Amino acid sequence: MNILVTGGAGYIGSHTVVELMKAGIDVVVVDNLVNSSKESLKRVEAITGKAVPFVEADIRDRAAMKKIFAENKFDAVIHFAGLKAVGESVQKPLMYYENNISGSLVLFEEMAAAGCKNIIFSSSATVYGDPAFVPITEECPKGKITNPYGRTKDMLEQILTDIQTADPDWNVILLRYFNPIGAHESGTIGENPNGIPNNLMPYITQVAVGKLKELGVFGNDYDTPDGTCIRDYIHVVDLADGHVKALNRIQQNPGLAIYNLGTGTGSSVLDVIHAFEEANGVKIPFSFKPRRAGDVAVNYCDAAKAKKELGWEAKFNLTDMCRDSWRWQKNNPNGYED
């Protein structure tokens, strides 16, 4: 199998490329490096012992995309490329719509022109908004999305659904990720946020490594057992494996299929802090802060459909995730800039 991986130099993409290559699948990565570095792919090469074919290009660049499809015959595309910072998307909505939507439209058009009609798309639990029920199954209605980033995910799900309805030759798998954290066990690839992290785990690891003084816990008055928000954290290597399993499924011509990728276990912010401290023997100073706008109290999934239809389930627990996130941060205090 030969797969085009858009955004393959990024956090989830680089881990997925490792798992694909381990499974004997050929890949070509296309990435414009707007939120990543070539170094991640060098490290993927060190892990796998194989070269990673890489094209530095923007998916909005039609000529570049045409060239990639002319030079390669792909069985499927795994589409990670996109901007993902929620707060930035509120400030710069046009940039988000232009990059994520326009870029994806060029990709889909060039796929169609090349006759490659199999795609796995990185969607997000954000499409459920404040979920109608938990654990969230794929049947849970979509909710009110509070930011442009989330709306690009919702819109792209709809666009792909419409494309598949119009032409049943398309096979579209929408993967709704819950909260990816952790890193490859080698400690050589991991999440490498620009500036001060917005997400919980990179913030914790930067406190642990001494780059930030203390963690602010956003809200302790939610209707949850300890008052802090509950999420479904999933190890990025499990998530990566979900893509390999989804590729097996796409070969069975599923038409349109949607899967939650999470562990099915909810953990509060305090659970994560305590698990991190215990797994790594490092103290995380924190204080409670007001709620963060747009946060929902509880969000975790029912992952039974992915188990039944993909034969996939998460193998790593929160302790594993905390240990691996810390190994990556400790070994690479400045991410890929070392």
**Residues identified as active-site:** 149
Find out whether 99 and 264 touch, Cβ atoms under 8 Å. Answer: no
Q: State which residue, 150 or 219, has the beta carbon closest to ligand NAD.
A: 150
Q: State which residue, 13 or 262, has the beta carbon closest to ligand UDP.
A: 262
Question: How far is Cα 284 from Cα 307, in angstroms, rounded to an integer?
Answer: 35
Query: How does strand 26-31 pair with strand 2-6?
Result: parallel
Q: Of ligand UDP, ligand NAD, none, which one does residue 203 interact with (CB within 5 to 8 Å by kind)?
A: ligand UDP
Q: How far is the CB of 268 from ligand UDP (least distance, A)?
A: 8
Q: How far is the CB of 189 from ligand UDP (least distance, A)?
A: 19
Q: How far is the CB of 104 from ligand UDP (least distance, A)?
A: 21
Q: Which residue is nearest to ligand UDP (CB)?
A: 229
Residues of this chain that interact with ligand UDP (CB under 6 A) are 179, 198-200, 203, 215-218, 229, 231, 269, 292, 295
Residue found under tokens 């188990």 = 307
State yes or no: cis peptide before 197, omega within 30 of 0. no
Q: Strand, helix or coil at 289?
A: strand
Q: Strand, helix or coil at 173?
A: strand
The neighbouring-strand residues paired with 289 are 218
Q: Of ligand NAD, ligand UDP, none, which one does residue 264 interact with (CB within 5 to 8 Å by kind)?
A: none
Q: Of ligand UDP, ligand NAD, none, which one does residue 180 interact with (CB within 5 to 8 Å by kind)?
A: ligand NAD
Q: State which residue, 72 or 227, has the beta carbon closest to ligand NAD.
A: 72
Q: How far is the CB of 217 from ligand UDP (least distance, A)?
A: 4
Residues of this chain that interact with ligand NAD (CB under 6 A) are 7, 9-13, 31-36, 58-60, 80-84, 99, 103, 122, 124, 177, 180
DSSP code, position 292: P
Q: How many helices (H) and strands (E) does the chain have?
A: 12, 13
Q: State which residue, 9 or 269, has the beta carbon closest to ligand UDP.
A: 269
Q: Of ligand UDP, ligand NAD, none, which one does residue 216 interact with (CB within 5 to 8 Å by kind)?
A: ligand UDP
Question: What is the DSSP secondary-structure string of 125-143?
Answer: GGGG-S-SSSSBPTTSPP-
Q: Tell me how far the alpha carbon of residue 321 is from its chain's centroid.
A: 15
Q: Of ligand NAD, ligand UDP, none, which one does residue 33 interact with (CB within 5 to 8 Å by kind)?
A: ligand NAD
Q: How far is the CB of 333 from ligand NAD (least distance, A)?
A: 18
Question: How far is Cα 27 from Cα 9, in angstroms, rounded to an integer?
Answer: 12
How crowded is residue 196: how many other Cβ atoms within 10 Å of its Cβ?
Answer: 10
Q: State which residue, 177 or 326, has the beta carbon closest to ligand NAD.
A: 177
Measuring CA to CA, which residue among 315, 123, 304 is closest to residue 236? 315
